[in-house]
Structures are given as structure tokens and as C-alpha cells.
Amino acid sequence: MLDRYPGPPAVSETSVTGAVLAAARDHAARRGDRPALACPGEEVGYARFAATVPAAADGMRRLGVRPGDVAAVHLAGACDLALAVHAVTAAGAVPAPLPLDGGVGDLAAALTETGARFLFTARGTSARSLAAAERSFVRQVFAFGDVPGTTPFARLVRTGAHAAPAEPLPGPAADPLRDLALLLNGPAGEVSHADRLADLYRLGGTVGLSDGDVLVCCGRDCTPSTWIGLIDLCLTHGATFAGVRDPDVAALLAAVRDRAATAAVVTPAKLRALTFDHDPVPVPGVRLLVTGAAPPEVVQACRVRHGWTVTPLG
């Protein structure tokens, strides 16, 4: 048994996961285990993230995940989502996020369409995703939390962390940037690492995060690719991504207050509601990133009433 886990074969630096892990290790070295991901009842620091992802990836490979496999991801929590997506990618597989609010039939169709062989779920989503998996080609389910009949994510981490490194993966493709990074339902379809890196650059220019910022976001307020992209943006810039599971405005404002957020993602409807229907919270200078067109009068009223600026997320 190894005292210090050396990690599986290196992830290509041209992948988003390679870039994110390199940044996380750097932030952990300079800032210790400051929160990288914050969710209700859980925090994941940079050091823990950098150690957990490669260990879980090696655990997945030991339990049968192979390069090119598709692993469906049905998770409502940002902490779970980030760990799962990057562990899947580090294992050489392709993550396929499922619609959070999809019914069993819709989820089963998505699993079949993507050809998913593995599934990541959690207690909050498992009732639907496990029922859907029975109608698909999924052969193994990994879960965050106690979900009967599944392999706990913690076991993946233990399996990878307490064993000698697995045999190396085959060499990288001729053009790793063209490898799939996400497999999405709908018109977005296949997303390459080049696409994700370009989105990360675009989001960076729009959001303007820096070391120490705190970004609050509910995954239901943006597309899966944007949600994951914002998480990655925080991880690469030394910021904290604070996830909100409850989709109402009160939950978002509570997270802004409790986390002393510097930025938050809102829909146009949420922007109007928090501007006119909720008392200001004592957190100055928050930048609201709105996911759609916002009426100028609402933007101005938000600035006057809350002292917060509004920027299109794009």
C-alpha cells in the first residue's frame, strides 16, 4: 500500500480536466485547502479536489471503465457534479450530463441515445435515474451518498488511492483537442475539449473572476455546459463556486449573504424578482450575471436598490 498516491497516468494538458487539475494543485500549494466548491452541507477544498479526482478516476478504471466509454451524470449538487465530470474525463471516458428535471422516460431515452454504460447519481436524483438505467445499457452505477445497489463514489476514491497505479492508458490521440469532452442532449450534441477550452476563455472574459472571488449559481438557471464551465472557471482562477440547489430567489440571496459572494448567476425572471420583491442583503458590490435579456429599467432599479451591477452572461 502506498503512503502517498502518485496518481494515474497524466491527463493530457490539452484537456479541460488537465488544465483544471494543474490549476487546482497550484492553488492548493499557494493557498492551502481553501474552498473550491461549496454546496449546502459540504465543502471541497482545492487540495481535496486535486487528490480526489485522479484517485476516483483510477478507481473507475479498476472497476471496468475504459477509454471512450460514456458515463451519464445525473447530479443536482455542484460539488458532486464537478468531482464526477472530471473523474470521468481523467479516466478517459466521456461525461454525459442528464437533464436534472427529466422524467424516467426522458432519462431512459437520453441514456440509450448516448450509449451510456455507467451512471453517476446521488440520493436526490437516484429514484428517477436508477429506474431509467433499468431501461438502458448501463451496467454499473456510482453514487454520492448512501444509495442501495450502487457503488459509492467514496469506494472509487479508496480503490484508486490505496493501490499501486494501474497500467498506463494507450497513448494520446493525434489531436486530443478534438476528443469528446461532453456529450449533451439536444442540438449542442458533441462538445470537444477545444470547444470547452474556448467556452472557458469566453466565460473568463465575461465573468472576470479573480483569486478569492465567490460565485453563486443554481444549476437550473443555465445550460449544463455553462454550469460546468462556470465551475471550471472558478477552479482555474482560484475562486469559490457556491452551488444552490433550491431554484427560488430566496435560496440564491441566502447563499449570496452567507458566502459573501462577489458574483451570482440569475435568470431575467430572478433578476426582476430579487430587484422588486426582496429586501436588499448586506453584501455590497455583487455582480449579477444574467442568462438572458434584462429590461433596462430592471437593471437600473437593481443598481439603485441593491447597489449591484448587472452583466449579460451570454
As a whole-number percent, the residues of the chain with pLDDT over 90 amount to: 78
**The most confident of 28-32, 188-192, 254-258, by mean pLDDT:** 254-258
Band of residue 163 on the pLDDT scale cut at 50, 70, 90:
low
| Residue 169 in this model has a pLDDT that exceeds 80 | no
Name residue 38's beta-bridge partners: 43, 242
pLDDT, average across residues 229-258: 96
Band of residue 13 on the pLDDT scale cut at 50, 70, 90:
low
Residues in CB range of 181: below 8 A, 6 or more apart: 15, 16, 89, 94, 95, 191, 192, 193, 195, 196
| Residue 60 in this model has a pLDDT that exceeds 50 | yes
Q: Which three cell numbers stand for residue 123?
A: 440520493
pLDDT of residue 168: 42
Encoded amino acid at 242, one letter: A
Q: Are 143 and 119 in contact (CB under 8 A)?
A: no
DSSP-H helix ranges across the chain: 16-31, 46-62, 78-90, 104-114, 126-133, 153-161, 193-207, 224-237, 249-259, 268-276, 296-306
pLDDT, average across residues 283-294: 96
- The domains of the chain, with CATH numbers, are 16-33+45-192 (3.40.50.12780), 193-312 (3.40.50.980)
- Supply the pTM of this predicted model: 0.90
Q: Which three cell numbers stand for residue 263?
A: 458574483
For 94-142, how does the pLDDT look when each residue is reduced to its tens digit (9 = 90+)?
Answer: 999 999 999 999 999 999 999 999 999 999 999 999 999 999 999 999 9
pLDDT of residue 92: 92
| Residue 241 in this model has a pLDDT that exceeds 90 | yes
Q: Which of the residue ranges 130-144, 148-162, 285-299 would you say has the lowest mean pLDDT?
A: 148-162
Mean pLDDT of the chain: 89
